[in-house]
Amino acid sequence: MAVGRQLFSHTTQALVYYYKQLPIQNMLDFDFLCGRETPSVAAIINPAGAGGFHNLFFGQHQILIPLYSSVEDACAVHPTADVFIDFGSHRSAATSSKLALTQATIRIVAIIADGIPESDLMELIDYAKSNNKIVIGPATIGAIKAGAFKIGDTGGTIDNIIQFKLYRPGSIGFVSNSGGMANELYHMIARVTDGIHEGITIGGDAFPICMISDHVLRFNNIYQVKMIVVVVEAVQSLVEVLTSGKINKPVCVLWINNVRLFKSGDQFNISQGDESSCGQLEALKDAGAIVSSSYETFEVSIKQTFNKLTEEGKIVPIIKEVTPPQIPEDLTTAMKSGKVRVPTRIVSTISDERGVDVQYAGVPLCVMLEKGMGIGDVISLLWFKRSLPHYCTKFMEICIILCADHGPCVSGAHNSIVTSRAGKDLVSCLVSGLLTIGPRFGGAVDDAARYFKDAYDRNLSPYEFVEGMKKKGIRVPGIGHRIKRGDNRDKRVELLQQFGYTNFPSTKYMDYAVKVETYTLSKANNLVMNIDGAIATLFLDLLAGSGLFSKQEIDEIVSIGYLNGLFVLARSIGLIGHTLDQKRLKQPLYRHPWEDVLYACHVK
Ligand code: ACO
Ligand code: LMR
């Protein structure tokens, strides 16, 4: 043990093994309270990780703490970080701590885990002592140099740190076995003295690697420490160091195994004084320790000792108390406590995945399955935010079936096929096909709904409607096809019409569209109603005839444009099919044949 050395300073930095957000943020908040300019955590080692950074707060600002996958890499990049805080489990901590001790840049290792096998501990003790390294723990909560540096959650929450005045140094050196009492004692010491200079818990394990006596001797040789407070379970080594003549500062001792800590209620592993403990108690007193017989008298003896040192001029009272900076409260905490309210950045009204069961428009998935709901119901809930009657959901499902694919020659399928043969991934091939959907191919449904609804609602005759569009130079959406003709109609249109005529309360918009088609066919045989037009006008009938949508809602649906979504949803099935088909066939890169291109470079 390096005797007479301050273990930590205002610039001490640590490497943290395993990412533990709360204790690391607690350390950084302590740094900020102490006015440190550099964070006390230099890097985090995450064996399963692969580099990168963790975003944490340093006061009001965010900082990036680098992540490393190995101890060696972290030590090499951060040679001034000489404290290693091992949050590894009892299964792994001995290995990682031993590895850290072998690094030349590591001086102190704190092992948080308890239950490390005895043989591993013995090896760590031997290595630490023979290489003049310091190990705190195992089974420790850590150590704290008031106003400078702390390990992990030592000292408790930031509110505790402020209450115990740990953000600035006092005159007391504190050492105990376990961290369980440390915060209690920090609080007691803050009440009756000028506070902790350094506090350290050597660990509650049966085999602490450093002894309490080591730190008593070290505290005795630190000028700023004027008295030492000890909570101890085994007194032998303490008696030895006290009788060695090397300790010349007052040592207040609370021997846990022999005192009634509290007047009543739970006791810390009290074993009433038996013969041997009476002897040990006497030995402690004979060695010069100021020994207390209860928690209450311990506070009194600390206070009396501190006051005596102050009267003797050995402790100069703190005249002006330091006021620590305000630690900004985390937004989540402040929101939970109702101190702040923050507008959400996103509003969603269609689904909620926060509960056990995801809900679509308030309907839990399990209920949907219990009721035998299908994709039409899902569209009803997620697009229209309500459950629609069966004939409506069935209509949407038929649209999806009919529009899922229309062979490899249509433009969208062609693009997916070509993209697939270029070796692109599924999503790219799908998107390549979907990007083809537009005003001429598959994307005319919403425009057809808009124009046909407008024409119908304004009582335009088919002639007025069609010629009016022609005058505006706009092709009537929902009319015309590359291969379908008046004498070779699109069967899909007929199937949809049959479903509408059979199940819909009204088909006024489809009836109007048929009249428009009759007129357009009188002009040209290719101007046949196409699937976009059929979906559009029957959907208008669905909305108007269901009685479930107000006029305003229908206008909004038509204006926003829901219906192209039906074609996109449907045709995605076919585009994926073509993509997979080409991959199965292991088709080579597609190149269009020369003979199928008219090279008209001479044309200006
Ligand atoms: N309204 C008015 N006139 C039309 C329409 C129409 N919808 N479609 C074609 N015409 C006219 C053209 O103006 C042209 O007349 P012109 O020679 O006097 O200029 C003639 O018919 C031939 O035009 P083309 O573009 O050669 O016809 P094509 O068969 O290539 O067009 C297409 C097919 C692209 C579907 C076309 O009819 C159209 O744009 N329709 C409107 C958009 C639409 O509904 N698309 C959905 C198609 S189905 C689907 O993609 C699933
Ligand atoms: C389709 O559904 O893709 C067709 O109506 C368009 C076409 O060219 O066949």
Instruction: Determine if ligand 1 sits within 6 Å of the CB of residue 523.
Output: no
Residues 114 and 253 placed together within one structural domain of the fold: yes
pLDDT, tens digit, for every residue of 64-83? 999 999 999 999 999 999 99
Task: Give the residue-averaged pLDDT of 141-164.
Answer: 93
Q: Whose CA is nearest to atom 7 of ligand 2?
A: 410
Considering the domain boundaries, does residue 307 fall inside one?
A: yes
Considering the domain boundaries, does residue 489 fall inside one?
A: yes
pLDDT band at 260 (very low <50, low <70, confident <90, very high): very low
CATH number at residue 197: 3.40.50.261
Residues 579 and 461 placed together within one structural domain of the fold: yes
Identify the pLDDT of residue 573. Answer: 98
Q: What is the DSSP letter of 442?
A: B
Check residue 211 and give left, alpha or beta (phi > 0: left; psi -120 to 50: alpha): beta
In three-state secondary structure terms, 359 is strand
| Cβ neighbours for 120, distance < 8 A, ≥ 6 positions apart | 94, 98
Distance from the first to the final alpha carbon of the chain: 91
Residues 177 and 269 placed together within one structural domain of the fold: yes
Task: Give the residue-averaged pLDDT of 205-216.
Answer: 77
The residues that bridge with 196 in the sheet, in sequence order, are: 172
Tracing tokens 């206008």 back to the chain, one arrives at 555
Query: Is pLDDT of 495 > 70?
Result: yes
CA–CA gap between residue 161 and residue 199 (Å, rounded): 12
Identify the pLDDT of residue 2. Answer: 54
Considering the domain boundaries, does residue 435 fall inside one?
A: yes
Considering the domain boundaries, does residue 403 fall inside one?
A: yes
Identify the pLDDT of residue 258. Answer: 56
Check residue 206 and give left, alpha or beta (phi > 0: left; psi -120 to 50: alpha): alpha
Domain boundary (286, 311, 336) is at 311
Residues 418 and 305 placed together within one structural domain of the fold: no
Identify the pLDDT of residue 4. Answer: 61
Averaged confidence pLDDT in the chain: 92
Instruction: Determine if ligand 2 sits within 6 Å of the CB of residue 406.
Output: yes
403 CA distance to ligand 2 middle (Å): 8
483 CA distance to ligand 1 middle (Å): 11
Q: CA nearest 167: which of 17, 59, 85?
A: 59
| Cβ neighbours for 250, distance < 8 A, ≥ 6 positions apart | 227, 228, 290, 305, 308, 309
User: Which of 88-92, 173-177, 208-212, 528-532 is predicted most confidently?
Assistant: 528-532
CA-to-CA separations, 470 to 135, 383, 477, in angstroms, rounded = 88, 33, 12
Residue 153 tokens read as 């959650």
Residues 144 and 245 placed together within one structural domain of the fold: yes
Domain boundary (281, 311, 341) is at 311
Residues 404 and 516 placed together within one structural domain of the fold: yes
Best substitution site from 400, 415, 437, 440 to test ligand 1's pocket, by max atoms within 8 Å of Cβ? 440
Residues 214 and 307 placed together within one structural domain of the fold: yes
Considering the domain boundaries, does residue 350 fall inside one?
A: no
Instruction: Determine if ligand 2 sits within 6 Å of the CB of residue 145.
Output: no
Give the strands of the sheet with 359-360, arranged side by side: 351-352, 359-360, 363-364
Query: Is pLDDT of 103 > 80?
Result: yes
Residues 126 and 239 placed together within one structural domain of the fold: yes
Residues 188 and 59 placed together within one structural domain of the fold: yes
Query: Is pLDDT of 599 > 90?
Result: yes
Range name among 217-231, 324-338, 493-507, 522-536 with the lowest pLDDT average: 324-338
Identify the pLDDT of residue 209. Answer: 65
pLDDT band at 288 (very low <50, low <70, confident <90, very high): very high
Amino acid at 478: G
Considering the domain boundaries, does residue 352 fall inside one?
A: no
Residues 411 and 304 placed together within one structural domain of the fold: no
Query: Is pLDDT of 395 > 90?
Result: yes
Task: Give the residue-averaged pLDDT of 419-447.
Answer: 98
Domain boundary (277, 292, 311) is at 311
Range name among 101-110, 157-166, 258-267 with the lowest pLDDT average: 258-267
475 CA distance to ligand 2 middle (Å): 17
Residues 302 and 398 placed together within one structural domain of the fold: no
Identify the pLDDT of residue 270. Answer: 35
Residue ranges making up the domain that contains 404 = 393-584
State which ligand 2 atom lies nearest to the alpha carbon of 441.
6
In the chain, what percentage of residues exceed pLDDT 90?
77
Considering the domain boundaries, does residue 335 fall inside one?
A: no
pLDDT, tens digit, for every residue of 469-491? 999 999 999 999 999 999 999 99
Find the ligand nearest to 482 CA.
1
pTM of the model: 0.73
Query: Is pLDDT of 590 > 50?
Result: yes
Query: Is pLDDT of 263 > 50?
Result: no
Residues 254 and 403 placed together within one structural domain of the fold: no
How many structural domains compose the chain? 2
DSSP string for 83-148: EEEE---TTTHHHHHHHHHTSTT--EEEE------HHHHHHHHHHHHHTT-EEE-SS---EEETTT
Considering the domain boundaries, does residue 432 fall inside one?
A: yes
Query: Is pLDDT of 348 > 70?
Result: yes
Task: Give the residue-averaged pLDDT of 111-129.
Answer: 88
